[in-house]
Amino acid sequence: MADQDYRINKLISAKSIAARVESLAKEISTHYADSEKLIVVGLLRGSFIFIADLVRELDLPVEVDFLEASSYGNKKVSSREVRILKDLRGEIKGQDVLLVEDIVDTGHTMQHVFTLLQSRQPRSLEVCALLDKPSRREVEVNIKWLGFEIPDEFVVGYGIDYAQRNRNLPYIGTVS
Ligand code: IMP
Ligand code: MG
């Protein structure tokens, strides 16, 4: 296996994440208490661990679906193009939908996906993000439930990668 030529410094411990996920799930369960069913949509791939932990703490009838978006950052212009690589399997019209994302950074990915799902006329559509880097925001995103606000640093772990590595770390760390 190739050596890793960078260091990872722990930013958020596994214990802190678990505690935060538990309290987010309580808030979400309360909010949707009268819902017939909640469709939890995870954005691949970064949200896969977060969504797995979150749905197990939800005291609600839940369905899980996934969507994969790819963004191409062009360093020379501020606009970003977002492509849908994998769409939802199910219909969301008339349903309560919760979009689950790992990190909201510039906001382009979430804004694009939110607008797409909104056009399918769900009964409701909200966003839950584990991490937010507000200092990097370029377009507005309304995050209803947020795990942690973090500084403008590159992070890995708990599903989040650096060149596809480190997703399996149980904690979140910064790369240096
Ligand atoms: P946005 O469109 O700029 O908001 O990009 C959000 C996406 O970029 C996230 O879903 C992540 O996949 C990725 N991303 C942003 N910041 C980081 C980071 O610090 N580590 C790993 N991926 C990141
Ligand atoms: Mg992502």
Provide CB contacts within 8 A for 82, sequence distance 6+: 69, 70, 71, 108, 109, 112, 113
Ligand 1: residues within 6 Å at CB? Answer: 46, 71, 101-110, 154-155, 160
Is residue 105 among the annotated active site residues? yes
Q: Which of 43, 47, 68, 105 best tests ligand 1's pocket when mutated (most atoms within 8 Å of CB)?
A: 105
Please list, in sequence order, all residues whose beta carbon lies within 8 angstroms of the beta carbon of residue 140, skipping any fewer than 6 positions away.
Answer: 107, 111
Place of tokens 């260091």: 7
Q: How far apart (Å, rounded) are the C-alpha atoms in residues 84 and 112? A: 9
The one catalytic residue among 53, 96, 102, 105: 105
**pLDDT bracket for residue 73 (50, 70, 90):** low
Nearest CA to 27 among 62, 51, 50, 57?
A: 57
- Say whether pTM exceeds 0.85: yes
Q: In which band, very low, low, confident or very high, does the pLDDT at 4 lie, cut at 50, 70 and 90?
A: confident
CATH architecture of 14-152: 3-Layer(aba) Sandwich (3.40)
Tens digit of pLDDT for each residue in 38-51? Answer: 999 999 999 999 99
Q: In sequence order, what are the beta bridge partners of 148?
A: 131
Q: Return mean pLDDT, the chain.
A: 94
